[in-house]
Every structure is written in C-alpha cells, then in structure tokens.
Amino acid sequence: EDQVTQSPEALRLQEGESSSLNCSYTVSGLRGLFWYRQDPGKGPEFLFTLYSAGEEKEKERLKATLTKKESFLHITAPKPEDSATYLCAVQSLEDSSYKLIFGSGTRLLVRP
Amino acid sequence: ETGVTQSPTHLIKTRGQQVTLRCSSQSGHNTVSWYQQALGQGPQFIFQYYREEENGRGNFPPRFSGLQFPNYSSELNVNALELDDSALYLCASSYTSTGSEAFFGQGTRLTVV
C-alpha cells in the first residue's frame, strides 16, 4: 500500500535556527514527490516537485532533497513568516488516477 | 492568470441534507481533483475529472459524486450528509491528469450538525 509518513508532527524553532523536516514514503513506482505549504484554514500552496533520487530544488530559505525512500525539506535561517504546516505527497506510476497521497504534515512554528 | 477558486468558503448543513460545492480551475488547466481534509490530517483523494470524465476515485462512498463542465469548472455533490463529512474540501487543478503540479483552491469548510 502506498504510504507517506512525515516527522516530526510539530517543530518549534527560534528565528534563524535551521532544521529539516522528513518525509518517508512507500510507493509502487514513484512518479513524483511534492511539497506543499498550508496556512491555517487555507488550501495547500505548491512548493516543489522532485522526480528522481538525488534531485534537489531550492526556493528562498527552503531546499528539498530526494532519496529512494525519503525526502527532506531543509529550512535555513527561518523567519516567523515560515510558520505553517508543510505537507509531503507522492504520486504513483502505477496509479492511473494520478492522485496525490499525502502525509499528515509537519506543523512548523518559528518564534521571533 | 486566475488561480483556483472555490465557493462557498464556509457552509453549515444538517445531517441528512445534500450539498454542492463548486470549483473554477486555473486558466489553461483541464483536470480537476477533489480532496477531503479532516482537522490535523493530510488531504484525502476523493476523485478526479479529466475532460468531463471521472478519471479515478478514492475510497469514498457513492453519495460523493461530481461533475466537470466544458469550461473545466467542477462540482462536488454530497448526499445524505453525515457528521463525519465535516471537513475542509479542497479542489486542485492541473494541466493534465498526469504528474504535473496540482494547484489548490482555498477550500470550502463544511460543517455538518
């Protein structure tokens, strides 16, 4: 069964304190791995897509990396505005519906 | 370029009633997917529409149904509402039904009492 597990469930950081969020996945053929940011009461905002092991993508203070079993979202020198829930999702090559299978997310709080 | 818009933003219904949620996809996108997100959980796939046809369905009962229109906008209908249907309902549009990025609307918060 295709599955995504994110850790930690919640993370508190001081402003400027770098850290990483983990996304472990089990999927029957990875089509793509997606990272989204979600603010309370709003829809997920697309951040990155990764397709193959070794791939990396960056956007401002965020950097996403991918291995064959997990992905990391590295946050460098975070600011309070980075506080949000970060969602990881996978898409399977063997699923004709191309649905996204999401983890439960990591709630990030960055304190000033 | 317009983003994905959903209506209404909030809705309160009584158990047993029926509800229709609406979604306008992003300009140039022909695929719409619907997700249900319970509090503190990740979104769960309900179904996807591609060129007005259902292209896949998650583990949801038949009382969850949908439509896609020629302009690629979409509706989600839920019959015989149950208390557990209370959730944030998200619409996502993408350029094709394959692995392109999906962009989400702001969601409709449905409360069933």
A52-105 pLDDT, tens digit per residue, is: 999 999 999 999 999 999 999 999 999 999 999 999 999 988 887 778 999 999
Distance CA B54, CA B37 (A): 20
State how many domains chain A has. Answer: 1
Residue-range definition of the domain harbouring residue A12: 3-111
Rounded to 10 degrees, what is the CA torsion of A51, A52, A56, A58? 0
Q: Buried b / exposed e across B19-52, counting CB within 10 Å, b at 16+?
A: bebbbbbbeebbbbbbbbbeeeebbbbbbbbbee
DSSP symbol at A100 = -
Question: How confident is the model at residue B98, as a pLDDT?
Answer: 59
Note which residues in 66-105 of chain A have CB less than 8 A from chain B: 87, 89, 91, 95-105
Quick one: tokens of B7? 């209506």
Read off the CATH number of the domain in which A102 is found: 2.60.40.10
Interface test with A, best of B57, B91, B95, B103 (most A CBs within 10 A): B103
Question: Is pLDDT above 70 for B99?
Answer: no
Interface test with A, best of B26, B29, B45, B97 (most A CBs within 10 A): B45
**Cross-chain Cβ contact B43/A46 below 8 Å:** no
Size of interface A-B (CB pairs under 8 A): 71
Question: How confident is the model at residue B75, as a pLDDT?
Answer: 97
Q: Which distant-in-sequence residues (6+ apart) come within 8 Å of B9 by Cβ?
A: B106, B107, B108, B109
DSSP symbol at B99 = S
Model confidence over A4-33: pLDDT tens digits?
999 999 999 999 999 999 999 999 889 999
Model confidence over B40-74: pLDDT tens digits?
999 999 999 988 999 899 999 999 999 999 988 99
